[in-house]
Structure 1
């Protein structure tokens, strides 16, 4: 109708409030989420501890690998130095026999022939060979009159001489040689016996010759023949 009042009433102007429905399961879901989060946090801590243990194990293996690599390098360097120092050992053993023959030739030369050109040439060759030995670190063992040392000498026979201290080298049958700090060939010697015990001079570190001789004859492979 034309006279009808179409203005909204105050009741119609009130805001519409939506009804909020709280699900009964919401508090339980929140609790489960909290429990799950706590469990995940515990797993993270365990994982961190596991990773730290693996890191420590890897570090230990790495340190061992570095130490082994250093040992290999040192060993290779030592072998290289030994090869440089002792690489000519077998050749040197052959050459000392040549030196023996040259020395025997000089020692057996009659006096009336020592001034000949041939003997002078032999003497010069022997001296040149000894110089070559020196450059290669090869030295003759000085044995005559020295206390017996089983590290350098090989006893071939005994010399009964009460006037000399026991255990001295009385005679050299064949010269010995060393190359640097290693024995190349032992000197073959005769050793005194029957005299008083050898006493080293004051300040000399050489062990008693008698003890060295008695302890070392078997080690040196000595073949003792009694000399009367």
Structure 2
């Protein structure tokens, strides 16, 4: 009988649960949260996919812009290389013309050729200075291995040891950067 009573009690508790939830409503209650959650997830996924596409598009545009900038910069560098010497050549052409006229002079004396050469040298020096070239003429200065190249050392009275006593060949700096060291003789 105990088994019958337990079976009856089990049936009653099942019936009690069924009575609390109206028939036909079970599916709605159980399925509703799943459908709502799924719909929300699908909406969030769609939004995330749209954001992803937007960011992909922005990234592609930025990559294209960077590539275009690189191409433009390369083109500008190429132009700068091609035309960098344009102004310099324009300054040197008058010097060239002066040399040519000097060679064409038929009745030139040694004195006029010397005067012409001096004027041409001044013209040439001014053209070089205009572009930032300056000479390094260190006679009487203390020897500096950053700007001078010692080709000899000579004992010399009246000069301090390590000072430049003679410049064999001038040095040159272009915009404060050494192009050629001055070749000098230094006192011992």
Scaled by the length of structure 2, what TM-score is found? Answer: 0.52
The aligned counterpart of 1:125 is: 120
Cα deviation for residue 149 of structure 1 reads 3.2
The answer to whether the aligner puts 1:160 opposite 2:155 as a matched pair is yes
Q: How far apart are 1:85 and its partner, in Å? A: 6.1
Once the 2 structures are TM-superposed, how far is the Cα of residue 186 of structure 1 from its aligned partner? 2.0
In 1, Cα distance between equivalents of 2:70 and 2:143? 39
| Superposition map of 1:100-139 within 5 A | 116-139=111-134
Aligned partner of 1:186 among 177, 181, 184: 181
Other-structure match for 1:141? 136
Q: Does structure 1 residue 37 correspond to structure 2 residue 32?
A: no
Q: Report Cα offsets for 1:192-215 as digits up to 9, x if no partner.
A: 33xxxxxxxxxxxxxxxxxxxxxx
Q: Higher helix proportion, which one?
A: 2
1:172 to 154, 167, 171: 167
Corresponding residue for residue 9 of structure 2: none
Q: Any conservation in 2 of the 1:174–1:188 contact (CA below 8 Å)? A: yes
How much does 1:172 deviate? 0.8
TM-score normalized with structure 1 length:
0.45
Q: 1:80 to 1:139 in 2, by over 3 A?
A: farther
Change over 3 Å in CA distance of 1:65–1:142 after alignment to 2: farther
Q: Structure with the greater relative contact order (CA < 8 A, sep ≥ 6): 1 or 2?
A: 1
Cα deviations by residue, 1:79-101 (Å, 9 ceiling, x for unpaired) = 86687667869xx9xx9xxxxxx
1:177 is paired with a residue whose SS is strand
Q: What residue ranges of structure 1 are gaps of 5+ in the alignment?
A: 1-22, 96-114, 194-228
SS state at 1:167 partner: coil
Name the structure 2 match of 1:207. none
Say whether the 8 Å CA contact 1:177–1:184 is kept in structure 2: yes
1:55-66 counterparts in 2 under 5 A?
none
For this pair of structures, how many residues does the alignment match?
148
8 Å CA contact 2:135, 2:173 repeated in 1: yes
CA drift of 1:173 comes to 0.8
Shift of 1:40: 2.1
Tell me if structure 2 keeps the 8 A contact 1:86–1:179.
no
